[in-house]
Chain A
Amino acid sequence: MTRMEPSPDPTPRRPGERIKARRGVLGTIGYEVLDVLQIMGEAASLFFATLSGVRVTGRTRERTMAQLVRVGVDTLPLAFLVSLFVGMVLVIQTAEQLERYTQEIIGSIVGLAMTKELGPVIMGFLVAGRVGSAVAAEIGSMRVYDEINALKTMDIDPVRFLAVPRFLAMTLALPMLVLYADVVGITGGAIVVALDPAIKISVSQYLTNLNQWINTTDVFVGLIKATTFGMIVAVISSAFGLRTAGGAEGVARSTTAAVVWSFVLIIVFDYLIVRATLVLL
């Protein structure tokens, strides 16, 4: 009796299904816990499979470039709008709170908030919502319509063909988007400083204060976050796409789950990176 090689893709399996079938409270909790552990396991396994599948070949480069356009270039207009208004809102809110003290520190507050926190997190959310959902839906549809099986019968590894270019593109594009968002957000703040009569400082004071307080370490921390968030969105959206089952409804479920899980993990890793950088830097 000979066993065949296991299929390399993470076929949806629900280890807790029998528990859930009992429909008790503990059973349901157990099922959910097992399901979460399984999702995390699949994502971790895909992460390592993706890392080991990275090859700098012409074909990978072509596919990665196509994804870079989709993740980076196509996101620029939306990233501009979001970052501009975040910077503007930050200045208005901060100025109001500081009215009784001094508004001279608005520049540093906006700068630090954008580079270390809001830039990476908001761009992470934006890419998760705009690109991560599309990736989960695309790979999910490919799974439902046997396209992934077709790749396997052509001896093409779906992880290398689909997940690796998206992983590289998101990991490279998010830091660029964050730098862009930092600049646009700070510019948005400067516009409000220039135009809003309630703000008593000049644009020059705003920028001088910002320059005094922001150093390369702050920008570096933001870029570490951006790189991590790019990896998270790529792996989670690909993992949910690859575990899709159940037709159009399954694709919709995977897409929603990919976005929700990306948001949750971005926040969790944001906290972990902040803790780590407080210790290390």
Chain B
Amino acid sequence: MTARGVAIRISGLRKSYRGTDVLRGIDLQIEPGETLVIVGGSGEGKSVLLRHLAGLEQPDAGAVRLDDLDLSEYLAMPPNRKPFRIAMVFQGAALLNSLTVAENVALRLREHEHRSEAELSRTVSDCLAQVDMAGTEGQLPGDLSGGMRKRVAIARALAADPQVVLHDEPTADLDPILTQQIGELINRIHDTHRATQVVVTHNLALAEEVGNRIAVLQRGRIVELLPADALGHSTNPYTQAFVKAASLRT
């Protein structure tokens, strides 16, 4: 696991759905190995932005570059010729319910790499151990709790040895203890894999815990970009209102 993160540069990204502007010109530079957290209210475009970084959405205008490579060029490359890998952890984990935990974690490797079953098994065990899910290899996703599913989804992402990890609402519907565990996992990926991570959340405690920087998204625009520890000192009215509302919830 020697992955090093890649730089992500987003410029002039715009997207609208049926006449409604969701992203209205996003410009953002994310450093290699950095964990950037995107916060904002519901419907502000956070997940849409993340899906653009994963290549799941097509922008109306603008571009995403990963190191020196345009995302469209990256997506067009055959899987085993790609110079780095992007993994995404979805809000609902998105594990394939018909496959066991081990098969889910090994899926990408099994499809694209010629590894022996013993090697695959070792990688799966290693990835599951990293997320404290060792011993669950034979279970089906339907037998797991929400927090366990989320951790298996992180293990599946790690199995690809990714240079970029995208997290969509990693702690949605999780209790505070599980939220803390997920936060620790994101920090572990930062420390040990040195992958570039983008985390979308409206959990400000998590944002401050895992982020190097925090981008505040409002109505499809980045209204503030600041170090994680400076969130409470923001002078931006929207950020202040968001922080205040979040503190009321807790």
Interface check A4, CB cutoff 8 A: yes
Q: Does B94 lie at the interface of the complex (its beta carbon under 8 Å from any beta carbon of A)?
A: yes
A3 touches B72 (CB 8 A): yes
Once the chains bind, are A5 and B76 in contact (CB under 8 Å)?
yes
Which residues in window 127-177 of A have CB below 8 A to B? 138, 142, 145-147, 149-156, 161
Docked-complex contact B56 and A149, CB < 8 angstroms: yes
Are the CB atoms of A147 and B56 closer together than 8 Å?
no
In B58-96, which residues have CB < 8 Å from any A CB? 58-59, 61-64, 70-72, 75-76, 79, 82, 86-88, 90-92, 94-96
CB contact between B92 and one of A145, A154, A155 (< 8 Å): that residue: A145
How far is it, in angstroms, between the C-alpha of A156 and the C-alpha of B54 when the chains are bound? 13
Q: Which residue of A lies closest to B87 (CB)?
A: A153
A142 to B98, CA, bound (A): 10
Number of A residues whose C-beta is below 8 Å from B? 22
- Select the stretch in B104-112, B202-210, B222-230 that faces chain A: B104-112
Name B's A-contacting residues (CB within 8 A): 12, 51-52, 54-59, 61-64, 70-72, 75-76, 79, 82, 86-88, 90-92, 94-98, 107-108, 110-112, 160
Task: Map CB proximity to B onto A1-25 as digits: 1 under 8 Å, 0 otherwise.
Answer: 1111111000000000000000000
Residues of B within 8 A of A156 (CB): 107-108, 111
**Is A61 in contact with chain B by the CB < 8 A criterion?**
no
Bound complex: CA of A3 vs CA of B62, how far in Å? Answer: 7
Which residues of A are found within 8 Å of B112, using beta-carbon distances? 155
A200 in the interface (beta carbon within 8 A)? no
Task: Indicate whether A5 sits within 8 Å of B160 (C-beta atoms), given known contacts A59-B110, A59-B111.
Answer: no
- Of all chain B residues, the one with the shortest Cβ separation from A147 is B94
New A-B pairs, 4, CB < 8 Å, besides A4-B72, A147-B97: A2-B62, A4-B59, A7-B56, A150-B95
Q: Are B56's CB and A152's CB within 8 A?
A: yes
- B108's partner among A4, A6, A59, A154 (CB-CB below 8 A) is A154
B58 touches A5 (CB 8 A): yes
Across the interface, name the chain B residue whose C-beta is closest to A8.
Answer: B75
Task: Provide 19 A-B residue pairs closer than 8 Å at the C-beta atoms, listed in order of the A residue.
Answer: A1-B12, A2-B72, A4-B58, A4-B64, A4-B71, A4-B75, A5-B75, A5-B76, A146-B92, A147-B94, A147-B95, A147-B96, A149-B54, A149-B88, A150-B94, A153-B56, A155-B79, A155-B108, A155-B111
Q: Are A153 and B57 in contact (CB under 8 A)?
A: no
A4 to B76, CA, bound (A): 9
Residue of B nearest to A2 (CB): B63
User: Quick check: A149 and B90 within 8 Å, CB to CB?
Assistant: yes
CB contacts (< 8 Å) of A145 on chain B: these are: 92, 94
Contact A153 B96 (CB under 8 A): no
Q: State A161–B96 Cα separation when bound (angstroms).
A: 12
Name A149's closest neighbour in chain B (CB-CB): B56
Q: Is the CB–CB distance between B94 and A149 below 8 Å?
A: yes
Most buried by A among B58, B71, B86, B112: B58
Query: Which of B12, B55, B82, B97 contacts A152 (CB under 8 A)?
Result: B55
Q: Compute how far the CA of A149 lies from the CA of B110 in the bound complex, rounded to whole angstroms.
A: 18
A147-B96, A154-B107 are contacts. A1–B61 as well, Cβ < 8 Å? Answer: yes
